Amino acid sequence: MAGSSAAQAQSNQIQTNVIKTMVLVGAIYTISWLPMCIAAILVYAMAGVTRNRMYYTTVFLGYSYMCTNPFIYATKFDPVKQVLLRMIPCKNTNEGNAGGVGTGACTGQTATNRTTRTTRT
């Protein structure tokens, strides 16, 4: 019975995390795109208003949402975080990982270059 209670608590934790993330994504979406929508309405509704620096700044803000969205998911969801960490070729990890992938600093050297350099000295 205690196992099902722990599973229920973990399920509730996951649901809460998903809801918080979706609220965060929605809030950032609104903050990013609302100024551009208002500026677009002003530009197209009023003949005297021209596209100025403010309009292009709001367009940039709106498009910056697409850049921030992956970072939100990467920081909030562990499965996404794990996949992204595996995609990074140059990361320092434990020396005991399989295949020696990601065990050194990112210097642009291949594993054979490193071994040749160390065997010469």
Q: Which pLDDT tens digit goes with each residue over 32-51?
A: 999 988 888 887 887 666 67
Lowest mean per-residue pLDDT among 55-59, 62-66, 104-108:
104-108
Q: State which amino acid sits at residue 14.
A: I
pTM above the 0.85 mark? Answer: no
Question: Both tokens of residue 103?
Answer: 């065990």
Mean pLDDT on 18-25: 90
Separation of alpha carbons 46 and 52, rounded Å: 14
Mean pLDDT on 103-110: 49
